[in-house]
Amino acid sequence: MTTHGSFDAFCEAVRSCRLEVTPEAVSYSFVGNQIVMSRYDAHAPGSFALPLVNGQPIDLHPQAVYESPFLNGAYGGDRVTITVGGLSRTLDFQAPPDLPQRP
């Protein structure tokens, strides 16, 4: 909300962006960016096209799947790192869980 000052101002900015809906596609423009999604036709799956962001198809294999100050993880990786303030924890989904042993 630092860019808009308040949640209400953010909501107003989102509502003021251009949204165009046609039978074939949805186009949404915001802060110099544009997303275009074409209609999916279940009877013609070969005509499917990835959504476009600023004229480029979305990347289904990005270098980082999660990349923020709070959550980071590489595409195809088994580890994610969670950071809150000065605390950080890495979760490894490949490693077996630490389960208590039965006596």
pLDDT for the residue numbered 33: 84
Are 70 and 85 part of one and the same domain?
yes
Question: Which DSSP string do the residues of 55-89 spell out, in sequence order?
Answer: TEE--SS-SEEEESSSEEEETT-SEEEEEETTEEE
**Tens digit of pLDDT for each residue in 25-41?**
889 998 788 888 888 77
pLDDT band (50, 70, 90) for residue 87: very high
Q: Which residue has the tokens 């900015």?
A: 13
Q: pLDDT digit string (tens) for 6-23?
A: 999 888 888 888 889 888
Burial profile 65-83: b = 16 or more Cβ within 10 angstroms, e = fewer: eeeeeeebbeeeeeebeee
Q: Into how many domains does the chain fold?
A: 2
Q: Which two tokens stand for residue 46?
A: 């070969």
Q: Are residues 11 and 46 in the same domain?
A: yes
Q: Are residues 11 and 40 in the same domain?
A: yes
The per-residue pLDDT for 103 is 56
What is the span of the domain harbouring residue 12?
Answer: 7-57
